[in-house]
Structure 1
Amino acid sequence: MLNEKKIRLMTRLSLFEEYEGKEEIKIDRYYKIDYIRYQILKSMLCVTLGYVLILLAVFVYQSEYILDNITSIAYKSVGVYILTGYLFLLLFYSFITGIVSCFRYERSRKKMKKYKKNLKTLKLLCEEESELK
């Protein structure tokens, strides 16, 4: 005979694994601090790449002016502005990424706790069914 409770539970678990829980299962592999560090590292890499691309675009756009005034540009102050802007963006995005990652990890843990509870229930149902046979 078919156990309806077991079938419903298996269906719910399967749907979670297939759609809603793909990201949660990936996040569950990490400790909280490792997940947050990994997300911040990815964010820092993206900020650095984006900043370099923006600087390159500005340089290309202003190349005529730069080449005309190559001897009169205050390179030290320009470098300080570029470095200050980069550090500000890096810290800002790292802070935001840390907060978002922390909330995302906590939300994922709650979902995974429910998922693991359902897995234990399924295991108990399977054990009960095997004992009856």
Structure 2
Amino acid sequence: MLNKDKIQIMSRCAMYEKGQGKDDLAINRYFQGDYVRLNTLKTLIGVTIGFVMCLGLYLVLKAEYYMENIVGMDFLAFGKSILKYYVIVLIIFAVISILFYGWKYADTQKRVRWYYKDLQSLDEINEGSDKKNLTEDNK
């Protein structure tokens, strides 16, 4: 006999697993600190690559100015100013990344918790039907 509750729970679990559950269950494999650190590191690597590309573009655009004034330039001050901007950009993106991925992990945990509750209730329904079948078989 078909159990309506069991079918609804199984359908909900299957839809979750095929949709957003793929990403959620992959995120759930990590501890929160590890997940946030890994994705913050990825963000900082991307920011570093982007900063270097923007710096290169800036230097190409201002190449004529720097070629004319290269003799009198203070390279140490120029390097310090670039490093200062790089650190500021890195800190801003690190803070945003930590906040975003911490929020994303917490949000994922809520959905995964509901999924595991559905699986647990499905298990309880299966155990109840197994006990019922055993008592009917013994009669």
Q: Identify whether the pair has TM-score above 0.5, normalized to the shorter chain.
A: yes
- Greater mean alpha carbon deviation, residues 15-24 or residues 98-107: 15-24
TM-superposed CA distance for 1:72, in Å, is 1.6
Runs of 4+ displaced beyond 4 Å: none
1:90-116, Cα deviation, whole Å (9 max, x unpaired): 111101111111111111111111110
TM-superposed CA distance for 1:73, in Å, is 1.6
CA distance in 1 between counterparts of 2:7 and 2:41 reads 42
For residues 106-125 of structure 1, the aligned pairs below 5 Å read: 106-125=106-125
The runs of 5 or more residues in structure 2 that have no matched partner are 135-139
The runs of 5 or more residues in structure 1 that have no matched partner are none
TM-score normalised by length of structure 1? 0.93
Question: Structure 1 vs Structure 2: percent identity of aligned residues?
Answer: 31
CA distance in 1 between counterparts of 2:69 and 2:116 reads 66
Choose 1 or 2 for highest CA Rg.
2
- Greater mean alpha carbon deviation, residues 17-26 or residues 91-100: 17-26
CA distance in 1 between counterparts of 2:126 and 2:64 reads 75
> In structure 2, what is the equivalent of residue 81 of structure 1?
81
| Aligned length, in residue pairs | 133
- How large is the Cα RMSD of the aligned pairs? 1.3
CA distance in 2 between counterparts of 1:89 and 1:21 reads 34
